[in-house]
Amino acid sequence: MTRYESHQSRINQPASLIYSKLSNFNNLKSMLPSDVKNWQSTEDTCSFEINMIGFISMKMLEKKEFSLIKIVPDSNTKYDFKFWIQLKQISEFDTRMKFTLDITLNPMLKMAFGSKLKDFMNTLSDRVAEGFNQIN
């Protein structure tokens, strides 16, 4: 497995608010980058397509209130991965967020998309942080 980590984002909101949104897939559609297509979700499952990567289906495996969300592939996905969101509340209105993806890719896909996955992780982190930082 190869690990891709986003940079750490600073969000001017309490971890409880961020966690309550991110721990439900139904809340995420508006935060996704434009290359995510055909989004479908329930509270604990979602599926979508990314150009040249294909169909991805996943489910929430573990939720640790206000600090951790672990996501794994659903049976319909051909990729083996683990994705998690870490939240650390520094003060009442200062929470740090980081995304981590461990994924097994064949060498050709790794060469073609490895750097794009890193960019995707940072873009996703930025969009999520931006969305929360605009809440008054």
Q: For all residues of the chain together, what is the average pLDDT?
A: 91
Question: Is it the case that residue 67 has pLDDT exceeding 90?
Answer: yes
- Could you count the other beta carbons within 10 Å of the beta carbon of residue 90? 10
What's the alpha-carbon Rg for the chain, to the nearest Å? 14
> What pTM was computed for the model?
0.87
| One-letter identity of residue 57 | S
SS3 55: strand
Which residue bears the tokens 């073609």? Answer: 112
Over residues 93-132, the pLDDT tens digits come to 999 999 999 999 888 888 887 888 889 899 889 988 998 9
Residue-level pLDDT at 29 = 85
Domains in the chain, please, with CATH?
2-133 (3.30.530.20)
| C-alpha angle 98-17-24 in degrees, rounded to nearest 5 | 75
